[in-house]
Chains A and B, each alone.
Chain A
Amino acid sequence: MNIDSDDMMVEQGTATKATISSNVFDLDAYINQYTGYTKIQRLLFIADVSKEFEKVATDLAQKEIKKTPNVELYGNLCTKNNLVTYDTQWVESTIKKNASQIEKLEQDLNTAKSNMVKDAIRVCVESFTYLIYLLAHNELGDFYYHSGDFANALKCYIRTRDYCTASKQVLTMCFNIIRVGVDMSNYIHVINYITKAEQTPDLSPQSTAKLRAAMGLSSLENAKYSQAAKKFIEAPFDISGNLSDMISPQDIAIYGGLCALASFDRSELKRKVIDNSVFRNYLELVPEIRELINDFYNSKYSSCLNYLDKLKVNSNLKRYPTLQLDIHLHDHIDKLYQKIRSKSLVQYFSPFSSVDLNAMAAAFNTTVGALEKEISKLIMEDSISARIDSHNKRLYARKTDQRSVTFEKSLQVGKDFQNAANDSLLRMNMLNHNIITQGPRKDNEKGHHGGMGGLGGLDPFQMQMEMNKQQAHHFAFVFVVIHIKSSLSLDCVHVYNEINGSWITTIH
């Protein structure tokens, strides 16, 4: 805690420490980090979202698709915008090729099936699915996966499940399904198979990295930022390109860094992110994120928020697009930013008992009016325990008097208990004497029921239950009173002992 407060220096003015290379975003360099379907997907997404890169991205996407047998996707792309000229020849030849390919593969499968040897089928199915994977790289194309028929691809992968014997085969199966799942945005499958894969013995660091990254992605998509941050941070360092069909190492740094900022507290941030030697390797790939986290930790909010704004709106990063153009972050970026901003407001205020709103507004690059609104929202949400002096433009920390609160609470609990007990006593008495609102037919008898003498009309069990419930309430109250006693000043205690004498014995 001491170290924390030493570090906690409020930054004056604006300081820009790291100089950022002023190169414009290079789409080519960025997209070449990826392979496979995610490359196409990201290109299409950029083309969709950004006007500036629409043409380049569409062009690249078109080229990428042509390397695969995905005729359907190509058709979609062509009909959607007129930047691409429809290549009829390619489409026709690809369809023909696809057909013969699938025929061949199915024939192989049938032959194997007819053998009815378990191992043979497994080999066959696996080689079939594995082939799909290989062909992607060899530009031969695979009908199911690469033609965008994920449902059938998934069916094939899952079918291999029964024939997997060695742990390596299980892993391959899991990875296949995870990949399809991520591409389909079907994260339930992804999570299931990640858990399955994690159970296999002797996981290599590469496999772990992939699993953690996939898990992080699915948590991010489900808006569980804290979990996502943990998973990304736990991922072993791997820049071999093994992840390229899903995520790039830079992505891990950015996703993990932002999620951690949004969900970890200061000490967690220090322990799990800044002092984490493995994750630091990732952060080195995107120095902006590293600076951002350090600034946040060192309470240089203005510079930290500057970085954030730059990342979002106007990226000067060579190898990375603005976060708006990222396929996974796009939906979450606003929520994450909001969280980071609120957290920095809370953290900024935490060591003070009062703060000048003007200084605070300057530190956060905003106006006093806007800041006041933001803070009042945070106070309403109970994130900051403070009150605003709107006249003098100051923010005061709120001192809650534990003693008063305890008094107030215990008196309330006591009254509630008495009310509840009296209520149920009356209800029981009504039941006991059979004084009940009844339908008109029985109404005539009501007068004669007068004294049933005992428990005629009621269910004693119900009553017993009610009694026990009441006693539980009572003990709650006793507990609170004892609690008050411990927080009372000494001169009151003897009075309590006196009272205690009478009622403690009653309880036991």
Chain B
Amino acid sequence: MDAFVNDSSKTELPIKNLKTLLLKHEDNLENNTQHLDQVLAALDPRTQSMAYLIVLKVKCGDQRKNVQNFINQVSHFLSSFNGEQIRVIPQYFSQVSKHYVEQLYNTRVPSRGVLPLKRAVCVFPEKTNTLTPQHADFLQLCILSKCYHQALPIISESTTNLNPEQTNINVKDVLSYFYYAGIIFTALKKYKQALEAFRQAWTAPATALSAIAIEAYKKYYLVYLMVNGTIPGFPKYTPTVVQRTIKNHCKSYVEYGQTFTGGNVQEIHNKASAHAENFQKDKNLGLVKLSIRSIHRRNIKKLTQTFMTLSLKDIAEHVKLSPADAETTILKMIEDGEIFATINQKDGMVSFNENPETYSGNKILNELDTQIHNIVTLESKLTSINEQFATSPAFLKKILTNEKRSVSQYDNGMEDMIA
């Protein structure tokens, strides 16, 4: 035990050597679980992160540990660890963080883990924009504790890098990350972004259908109906297995969608209640109700294109709502910035205005400026990746074999013709 603590402070060693040195003690630690708390107390998570993590990992396997204590220790560790030391043993880290989330869930205090894991997500990856298994864990905690706003800055950034060597990320983590991100965007009513996140989950490269993809597709389907009023299609890059089979797993949704596009409100209600049990089971009933409400909103929006003023009575008649309901809906839409209108309660008229945005001034210039800079960076990134692939041995080899094949085919063709 003491030897382990001694070894762990040899941070001057190259990091690989330190790793081998410390891992030798793992069996010893496993056999002495009763002393682990003492060891942890002797370690400083800031400078001896690797050792601390190894002990925590061993504690995960200990059935008799004090759960509260464990949670405190991990929270402490997550708030202060050194990323460099952790990156060499990513599988330990992901195991600990998974176990941590599980324990928080069991003890019903998910909110305690939100801030520590948020730090972990930001510090752990070497490069920014890298997805880690902890991303998914973090979002899961955010959803459980309803701290959506904490997750928003993380999921609003585009995470495109993966580094399995340093983070031990697997496909399940990636899919759950996007699934959770979609849920959070939906909860915050950022439907466009929610759609993108869900789509990432079900269009991810696949040779088999994943349960996460199916759930993501169900939510995607409903949100898409709500936003666009039409049935979503498959993007070109969707894996064939998803294109072919995913709808078989979402029959109630597809049926509901077909009725939905028909536009008959009564029929849509009937269909929704017919499949209510399925929707309830998938916890999507709220989305279904929202999608029904969106029909009226869309109809009102269409009216704004056609009319400048219209009495509440006429609006109610056009969208088939009671005047009072129509008024509250319009009020809500004005608040949400969906339409620009004023209601005159004296004579019951609604006047629709044009979008007051004039696209001039500093704000829009700044916006354009950032957009253009984003694109420039993205473009250079794309170019460099393109070059990297174009000059990679695997790619060149493939081209070479293809060329050879086409040449030999041509030769054969010629021979055939001559013969």
State the Cβ distance, A397 to closest chain B Cβ, in Å.
Answer: 11
B305 lies within 8 A of A391 (CB): no
> For B160, what are the chain A residues with a Cβ–Cβ distance below 8 Å?
422, 425-426, 429
B359 lies within 8 A of A429 (CB): no
Instruction: Decide: A391 near B311, CB < 8 A? Known: A404-B357, A467-B385.
Output: yes
Instruction: State in angstroms the CA–CA spacing of A414 and B347 once bound together.
Output: 44
> For B392, what are the chain A residues with a Cβ–Cβ distance below 8 Å?
454-455, 460
B200 lies within 8 A of A426 (CB): yes
B367 within 8 A of A: yes
A437 lies within 8 A of B206 (CB): yes
Q: Which of A391, A415, A419, A437 lies in contact with B207, CB distance below 8 A?
A: A437
State the Cβ distance, A407 to closest chain B Cβ, in Å.
Answer: 4
B1 within 8 A of A: no
> For B378, what are the chain A residues with a Cβ–Cβ distance below 8 Å?
418, 421-422
Instruction: State in angstroms the CA–CA spacing of A408 and B358 once bound together.
Output: 10
> For A451, what are the chain B residues with a Cβ–Cβ distance below 8 Å?
164-165
A429 lies within 8 A of B162 (CB): yes
What interface size band does chain A fall in?
Answer: 35 or more
Q: Which residue on B lies nearest to A379, using beta carbons?
A: B306
Select the residue from B158, B209, B357 with max chain A CB neighbours within 10 A. Answer: B158
Instruction: Decide: A447 near B170, CB < 8 A? Known: A427-B237, A437-B207, A506-B376.
Output: yes
Chain A, 412-436, contact with B by CB distance < 8 Å: what is the 0/1 string? 0011011101111111111111011
Instruction: Decide: A407 near B200, CB < 8 A? Known: A418-B375, A418-B378.
Output: no
Instruction: State in angstroms the CA–CA spacing of A415 and B390 once bound together.
Output: 27
Instruction: State in angstroms the CA–CA spacing of A396 and B379 once bound together.
Output: 45
> For A439, what are the chain B residues with a Cβ–Cβ distance below 8 Å?
207-208
B196 within 8 A of A: yes
Instruction: State in angstroms the CA–CA spacing of A418 and B371 once bound together.
Output: 9
Q: Which residue on A lies nearest to B163, using beta carbons?
A: A433
A436 lies within 8 A of B311 (CB): no
Instruction: State in angstroms the CA–CA spacing of A440 and B379 once bound together.
Output: 38
B136 within 8 A of A: no
Instruction: Decide: A426 near B159, CB < 8 A? Known: A437-B205, A460-B398, A502-B376.
Output: yes
Q: Which residue on A lies nearest to B371, using beta carbons?
A: A414
> For B171, what are the chain A residues with a Cβ–Cβ distance below 8 Å?
430, 435-438, 446
Instruction: State in angstroms the CA–CA spacing of A421 and B374 once bound together.
Output: 11
Select the residue from B163, B164, B239, B382 with max chain A CB neighbours within 10 A. Answer: B164
A490 within 8 A of B: no
A456 within 8 A of B: yes
B365 lies within 8 A of A456 (CB): no
> For A438, what are the chain B residues with a Cβ–Cβ distance below 8 Å?
171, 206-208
Q: Which of A376, A460, A461 lies in contact with B306, CB distance below 8 A?
A: A376
Mostly helix, strand, loop or mixed at chain A's interface?
helix
> For A440, what are the chain B residues with a Cβ–Cβ distance below 8 Å?
208
> For A466, what are the chain B residues with a Cβ–Cβ distance below 8 Å?
237
Instruction: State in angstroms the CA–CA spacing of A455 and B158 once bound together.
Output: 23
Q: Which residue on A lies nearest to B402, using beta carbons?
A: A461
State the Cβ distance, B80 to closest chain A Cβ, in Å.
Answer: 28
Q: Which residue on B lies nearest to A463, using beta carbons?
A: B389
A389 lies within 8 A of B375 (CB): no
> For A499, what are the chain B residues with a Cβ–Cβ distance below 8 Å?
368-369, 372-373
B234 within 8 A of A: no
A429 lies within 8 A of B382 (CB): no
Instruction: Decide: A427 near B162, CB < 8 A? Known: A414-B371, A450-B168.
Output: no
Instruction: State in angstroms the CA–CA spacing of A417 and B379 once bound together.
Output: 10
Instruction: State in angstroms the CA–CA spacing of A506 and B372 once bound together.
Output: 12
B389 lies within 8 A of A455 (CB): yes
> For B367, what are the chain A residues with a Cβ–Cβ distance below 8 Å?
411
State the Cβ distance, B28 to closest chain A Cβ, in Å.
Answer: 25
> For B170, what are the chain A residues with a Cβ–Cβ distance below 8 Å?
435, 446-447
B305 lies within 8 A of A379 (CB): yes
B267 within 8 A of A: no
> For A387, what are the chain B residues with a Cβ–Cβ distance below 8 Å?
305-308, 352
A437 lies within 8 A of B175 (CB): yes
A427 lies within 8 A of B161 (CB): no
Chain A, 454-488, contact with B by CB distance < 8 Å: what is the 0/1 string? 11100111011011001100100100010010000
> For A431, what are the chain B residues with a Cβ–Cβ distance below 8 Å?
205
A460 lies within 8 A of B381 (CB): no
State the Cβ distance, A410 to closest chain B Cβ, in Å.
Answer: 8
A437 lies within 8 A of B382 (CB): no
Q: Which of A380-421 contact B (CB under 8 A)?
A: 380, 387-392, 396, 403-404, 407-408, 411, 414-415, 417-419, 421
A436 lies within 8 A of B382 (CB): no
Instruction: State in angstroms the CA–CA spacing of A456 and B398 once bound together.
Output: 12
Q: Which residue on B lies nearest to A380, using beta carbons?
A: B306
State the Cβ distance, A112 to closest chain B Cβ, in Å.
Answer: 48
Instruction: State in angstroms the CA–CA spacing of A380 and B305 once bound together.
Output: 8
A474 lies within 8 A of B379 (CB): yes
State the Cβ distance, B9 to closest chain A Cβ, in Å.
Answer: 30
A407 lies within 8 A of B364 (CB): yes
Instruction: State in angstroms the CA–CA spacing of A430 and B178 once bound together.
Output: 13
Instruction: State in angstroms the CA–CA spacing of A456 and B146 once bound together.
Output: 41
B326 within 8 A of A: no
State the Cβ distance, B125 to closest chain A Cβ, in Å.
Answer: 13
B364 lies within 8 A of A392 (CB): no
A436 lies within 8 A of B206 (CB): yes
Select the residue from A390, A411, A481 with max chain B CB neighbours within 10 A. Answer: A390
A495 within 8 A of B: yes
B375 lies within 8 A of A477 (CB): yes
State the Cβ distance, A508 to closest chain B Cβ, in Å.
Answer: 12
Instruction: State in angstroms the CA–CA spacing of A456 and B239 once bound together.
Output: 19
B389 lies within 8 A of A417 (CB): no
Instruction: Decide: A389 near B307, CB < 8 A? Known: A429-B160, A455-B394, A499-B372.
Output: yes
Q: Which of B333-358 contact A (CB under 8 A)?
A: 347, 349, 351-352, 355, 357-358
A390 lies within 8 A of B162 (CB): no
Select the residue from B174, B209, B210, B393 with max chain A CB neighbours within 10 A. Answer: B174
State the Cβ distance, A360 to closest chain B Cβ, in Å.
Answer: 16
Q: Which residue on A lies nearest to B365, using beta carbons?
A: A495
A117 within 8 A of B: no
Instruction: State in angstroms the CA–CA spacing of A480 and B305 once bound together.
Output: 25
A437 lies within 8 A of B209 (CB): yes
> For B114, what are the chain A residues with a Cβ–Cβ distance below 8 Å?
none
> For B347, what are the chain A residues with a Cβ–Cβ distance below 8 Å?
391
State the Cβ distance, B195 to closest chain A Cβ, in Å.
Answer: 10
Q: Which residue on B lies nearest to A474, using beta carbons?
A: B379
Instruction: State in angstroms the CA–CA spacing of A424 and B199 once bound together.
Output: 12
Q: Which of A408, A414, A418, A464 lies in contact with B389, CB distance below 8 A?
A: A464
> For B393, what are the chain A residues with a Cβ–Cβ distance below 8 Å?
454
11 A-B residue pairs with CB within 8 Å: A403-B359, A404-B358, A414-B375, A417-B375, A418-B371, A418-B378, A435-B170, A435-B171, A464-B386, A467-B382, A506-B380
7 new A-B contacts, CB < 8 A, other than A425-B382, A507-B379, are: A379-B306, A392-B309, A415-B371, A426-B200, A437-B207, A455-B389, A506-B376
B residues with CB within 8 A of A:
91, 131, 158-165, 168-171, 174-175, 196, 199-200, 203-210, 213, 237, 239, 302, 305-311, 314, 347, 349, 351-352, 355, 357-360, 364-365, 367-369, 371-376, 378-382, 385-386, 389-390, 392-395, 398
A residues with CB within 8 A of B:
376, 379-380, 387-392, 396, 403-404, 407-408, 411, 414-415, 417-419, 421-433, 435-440, 446-447, 449-451, 454-456, 459-461, 463-464, 466-467, 470-471, 474, 477, 481, 484, 489, 492, 495, 499, 502-503, 506-507
